[in-house]
Amino acid sequence: MQARRVMAMDHVAACRLPLRLPTLRLGRPGEVAFALVLGEAHSCSSANCLGGPFMASASFSALVKSYLDERYEESPTWASILGLTEYDERSTDLSAEAFRRRDARVLEWTRRFRSAVDAELAPNERIDRDVVLASLRGRELLQPREEWRRQPSVYLNPSLQGVFTLFLHRLRPERELADAARARLEAVPEQIGHGKANLDLPNAPRVYIDRAIGQAKAAARYARDLVPAEVKDASLRERLAGAGAVAGAAYEDFAAFLEGNKERATGDYAIGADLYTALLKDSELLPYDARELRERGEEQYELLSAEANRIAEDIDGSGDWVKTCATLNRVHAPTPEAMRAEYEAWTEKARTFLRETGLVTLPAGERCSVEPSPLFQRPILAVASYNAPPAFSDSRHGHFFVPYPPDGTPPEEVQKRLEGNSSAGIPTTAVHEAYPGHHWHLVMAKANPSPIRRTHWTSYFGEGWALYAERVMREQGFFTDPRQLIFQYEATLFRAARIVVDVGLHSGEMTFEQAVDFMTEKGNLTPPNARAEVGRYCSWPTQASSYLTGMLEIVDIRTRWLARKGSSDRAALREFHDAITSTGSIPTTLAERAIAA
């Protein structure tokens, strides 16, 4: 996501899920795998794209199926996002007992997957096992923090995402969709009740509360005013309106509850350097500790700044990329809808470039719509985002959401937000979110026969790939205007700044306000966008560091892969791109193992 992107987090799935949940797919039985039909001008053999022949043993397949089936029972919203319509009428259990039960299951599943030893597994199964173990380790590390007692959005996201995804993808007839949405809306009061009972407000960070208040208020309007309009039939609309009124009242009650108790919220969002390091090494399988990662971010920032300053000198003679970008930010669409139209035009230009150059294989039937961001997402996300087609549907239709301001935003702040979507910067974001960024990657991932790899998500690969997409499009000449080029560097500098801030916030070396100032000065964000960004970093440790870190890992993998091939022409690049994205979104170390198999 350009900052990406982010749909609300479904913490309830009991794992560290990225904000952009609809693209984060963590599993499903393998019997629903289907063959990806590759079209346009190029083709790709399954062995090359998927990392060699794919074998599965009955016992390991049964273990995976049992694990994933349990996960879907735990989080019906997640199941719906993946296209498993049999879960659509169900709602997630948000009781304290359910959270504790899910936590206890992590250790049991860890034991069972560790018992699957190398000698009994095919190479691809060893990778799948290691993907699951890394994910389980991340969940285990975070359990002592009990985010379900500190994070109010835990009690908002399952219902919001659960209803939104039904109408976004429309995998069932309208009557069935309306019935499923009504069931989930009617469950909202109980879920909110669990939230009010479970939250330990004195231990909750104030930034969590402030973000959730805005989200709950937007959720009330979404449930009451927008959901009923999703159906054409008058009787169905009336029933949805009734359920929406019930849910809307519960959301408003939750907002009032949080508003009335926010002064009590004095908890610390920082997870500490030791836990940050453990997440990097044990869950993401990276070689860095928190300090080394921050130093890497600072080093990259300096290197990128020097190059961006040279481009600024060419553009306006200033030699100062921050000043040049600030000037260029003033050239933007006059309205959010005009901004959306610019994004749409550049998305199509990026797709055309890929088709003409053969830099990747474009799967037949894929398409990407460019749309306004969902109403309930706007208070918590000020940047572009992407929502992938369900992993277990035939659809290859993705949704690229552009950042509309929340309802009631003053006109002067709307203009400031539009400055963050300048005409010169939009091409980079279109590449990142759509072609060959998130949309292309996640459509390619649907080809993988492994239910683990088709659905697992780590930001270090997924976001790393999208930033790599920007870089390779720059290398291949897509950005023809230096004003566009400087914004691609600015986007990468922004990701370097994120590393510095994310580690600083969670190691306790940087306050919230210091982080906002840093992102305004070093990340070239407007103050409102910087504040929204930093709030997200507080809520989601290590994710903000994933973009540049993952991109650099993918570049290193590419270097080694092309060296083995003895070629670096576009045909070789296409083969690499097709192969590594078809592994899904797994830790980069495991992705390299997969394409070397």
Point out which residues pair with 402 in neighbouring strands: 372
Q: Which amino acid is at 174?
A: E
Count the neighbouring beta carbons within 10 Å of the beta carbon of residue 502: 28
DSSP 3-state assignment of 194? helix
CA–CA separation, 449 and 32 (whole Å): 9
The pTM (predicted TM-score) of the whole model is: 0.89
The torsion of the CA quartet 112, 114, 120, 122, rounded to 10 degrees, works out to 110
Taking only the tens of pLDDT, the chain with its 597 residues reads 443 333 332 232 233 333 233 332 222 222 222 222 223 333 343 344 544 455 667 899 999 999 999 999 999 999 999 999 999 999 999 999 999 999 999 999 999 999 999 999 999 999 999 999 999 999 999 999 999 999 999 999 999 999 999 999 999 999 999 999 999 999 999 999 999 999 999 999 999 999 999 999 999 999 999 999 999 999 999 999 999 999 999 999 999 999 999 999 999 999 999 999 999 999 999 999 999 999 999 999 999 999 999 999 999 999 999 999 999 999 999 999 999 999 999 999 999 999 999 999 999 999 999 999 988 788 777 789 999 999 999 999 999 999 999 888 999 999 988 988 999 999 999 999 999 999 999 999 998 999 999 989 999 999 999 999 999 999 999 999 999 999 999 999 999 999 999 999 999 999 999 999 999 999 888 788 799 889 999 999 999 999 999 999 999 999 999 999 999 999 999 999 999 999 999 999 999 999 997
Under DSSP, the state recorded for 38 is B
Count the neighbouring beta carbons within 10 Å of the beta carbon of residue 367: 12
Enclosing H/E stretch for 69: helix 58-74
Structure tokens at 241: 């309106």
By the 8 A CB rule, do 435 and 369 touch? no
Tokens 């993998």 label which residue? 557
